A = this chain, B = another copy of it.
Amino acid sequence: MTRNNPQIVLRRRPSGRPVADDFEFVVNQVPELEDGQVCVEVGHLGIDAFIRTTLEEESFHQGAQIGGVIPALGVGRVVESRFDGLEPGDHVFGPLCSQTYAVMPGAMLRKIDVSRVSPTAWLGALGLTTGLTAYVGMTRVAKVKTDDVVVVSAAAGAVGSMAGQIARLLGASKVIGIAGGPTKCEFLVKELGYHAAIDYRNDDVESRLRELAPQGIDVFFDNVGGDVLDAVLLNIKEGTRVVICGAISQYDDMSNVRGPRNYLKLAERHAVMAGFAVFHFTDTYDEGEARLADWFVDGSLVMPEHVEVGVERFPAALDILMSGGHTGKLLVKVSSD
């Protein structure tokens, strides 16, 4: 039996912000399985900032090839298997990429339990690049403790949505989100339980932060870089932990990253800037997933979703991500779960 496989492939490497012509919609055939492989019908794909960096020639993550599908994490269902341990019908999570059917070694996939949480929760609230990233960042890198004042940038994005809520659940006394525009700022306070929000498009981040946290901040969880990072660095104090999770403001031009101009505040005020990626903390995955699932199921933690429908919307979804046109977890729905 042959299957059509609608895909989005990379037509050329973007220069700056990706545009529609950098991508192409194609329909290929799903190949015959080899031993050890499975075929997965993709349910949802998570649109993460790391995807932008995979489009570069010299990529931090394993990169996209010209003519090839775009790396993306997704959830789906096994439709055919030549791998021991996965059967048709099983729900799985893995690097399914921008396509309708993913054929890959079964060993690259993880079977997920969708009896307690929905499949998309495995991309969002419990997701490796989302909930789990925020969890290890807050617990293992920022080491948030009771009464900390915590600031999160890109706070209405997927990681930021989770990071702020997790900080609150860990006992932070004040959680301040930085986001673009009044709608997102309202979302932070009303939907996610942030104590306060700063609109970086309309507020002076440095002075507003000084008003909101006159004693300085204990933790800054940064997903943005650039001007936002520099403004927050002016508000650090002795002992502040600046956690570098990402830098979405820089990903469109990685050959010309702007470093934090105010980094010497780290010396003046005896503070630390610590970077991490989730894969540095594999020993925390089980603990993190368990706590996140408990919080999510009992409603302490919410993960709003923004869903674009159809694999052909993958490039548009990436543009929404890069321009911040979403709140919460951005997903492309490819097939029904």
State A250–B265 Cα separation when bound (angstroms).
Answer: 13
Given the known A-B contacts A257-B262, A260-B259, A261-B257, are A267 and B245 also in contact in the complex, defined by CB atoms under 8 Å?
Answer: yes
How near does chain B come to A278, taking the closest CB pair, in angstroms?
A: 10
How near does chain B come to A254, taking the closest CB pair, in angstroms?
A: 8
Partner among B225, B247, B257, B266 whose Cβ is within 8 Å of the Cβ of A274: B266
> What total of chain A residues lie within 8 Å of the partner, measured CB to CB?
32
13 extra interface residue pairs, beta carbon distance < 8 Å, beyond A244-B264, A244-B266: A244-B263, A247-B264, A257-B261, A257-B262, A259-B259, A259-B260, A263-B273, A266-B274, A267-B275, A267-B277, A270-B275, A270-B280, A271-B275
Interface string of A27-68 (1 = CB under 8 A from B): 000000000000000000000000000000000100000000
Is A277 within 8 A of B268, CB to CB?
yes
Chain A residues packing against B (C-beta within 8 Å): 60, 225, 230, 238, 244-247, 250, 256-277, 280
State A265–B60 Cα separation when bound (angstroms).
Answer: 10
State A262–B263 Cα separation when bound (angstroms).
Answer: 12
Nearest 7 pairs of A and B residues by beta carbon: A259-B259, A266-B275, A267-B275, A270-B280, A259-B260, A273-B273, A259-B261
State A308–B222 Cα separation when bound (angstroms).
Answer: 47
How near does chain B come to A249, taking the closest CB pair, in angstroms?
A: 11
State A275–B270 Cα separation when bound (angstroms).
Answer: 5
State A32–B116 Cα separation when bound (angstroms).
Answer: 83
Nearest to A280 among chain B residues (CB) is: B270
State A262–B275 Cα separation when bound (angstroms).
Answer: 12
**Cβ of A246: which chain B residues have Cβ within 8 Å of it?**
267
State A275–B263 Cα separation when bound (angstroms).
Answer: 9
**Cβ of A270: which chain B residues have Cβ within 8 Å of it?**
275-277, 280
Nearest to A241 among chain B residues (CB) is: B272
**Cβ of A273: which chain B residues have Cβ within 8 Å of it?**
263, 266, 272-274
Is A267 within 8 A of B244, CB to CB?
yes
Interface centre among A258, A259, A265 (most CB of B within 10 A): A259
Is B250 within 8 A of A264, CB to CB?
yes
Is A262 within 8 A of B264, CB to CB?
no
